Chain A
Amino acid sequence: MEVSAKTVVKTYVRHHYGNLISVGEPRFNPDEKQWVAELLSDYPRIIHDDRHPGERTLKFLTLRRLGTVKVGESLSPNSIDATTRNDCAVTLSAYLKLWQERANRAIIKASSDNLARTNSAQTFLGKIGVIVSRLERKGIIFDKEIDNFPEKEASKIRRYLQLLEGLEIVEHREYGYSYGNMYAELSHEAQKPNVDLNTVILSYIIKNRYSALKETFKITHLEPVVHVDSLYYRPALEADEIIYWKYESFEHHCNMLYGSGSKISFRLPFILGELVNVQALKYEDNLYFGNDALWKQMKKEVDMSEFSLPRA
Chain B
Amino acid sequence: MIFMFIQDTSKDSRVPDFDLERIGKIIETMEEGTLPQNILNLNRVREVSTARPSIEFEQKPSFHSLDELAIEIEARQPPIAWIWSYDKEKLHKFDHAVVITGVENGRVYYNDPVFGKKDDSTDGFLTKWDDEDRVLVKVKIGKKKEKMLDEFLNGFNKQKQQVLTKEGS
Contact = CB atoms under 8 A, between A and B. Distances in A.
- Interaction A to B: yes
Contacts of B60: 94
B62 interface: yes
Interface string B120-157: 01111011001111110000000000000000000000
Most chain B CB within 10 A, of A98, A101, A309, is at: A309
B71 to A, nearest CB: 14
A311 B61 contact: no
A211 to B, nearest CB: 4
Determine the main DSSP class of B at the interface with A: mixed
A101 B61 contact: no
B15 interface: no
Contacts of B95: 310-312
Determine the main DSSP class of A at the interface with B: helix
Interface residues of A, number: 26
Contact of B123 (A91, A101, A105, A166): A166
A310 B62 contact: no
A95 B61 contact: yes
B63 A98 contact: yes
A166 B63 contact: no
Nearest to B169: A76
B165 A312 contact: no
Contacts of B127: 208-209, 211-212
Interface of B: 25, 30, 32-37, 60-63, 65-66, 82-83, 95-97, 106, 121-124, 126-127, 130-135, 162, 165-166, 169
11 contacts: A76-B166, A78-B162, A97-B62, A98-B133, A211-B126, A211-B127, A212-B127, A215-B65, A311-B95, A312-B82, A312-B135
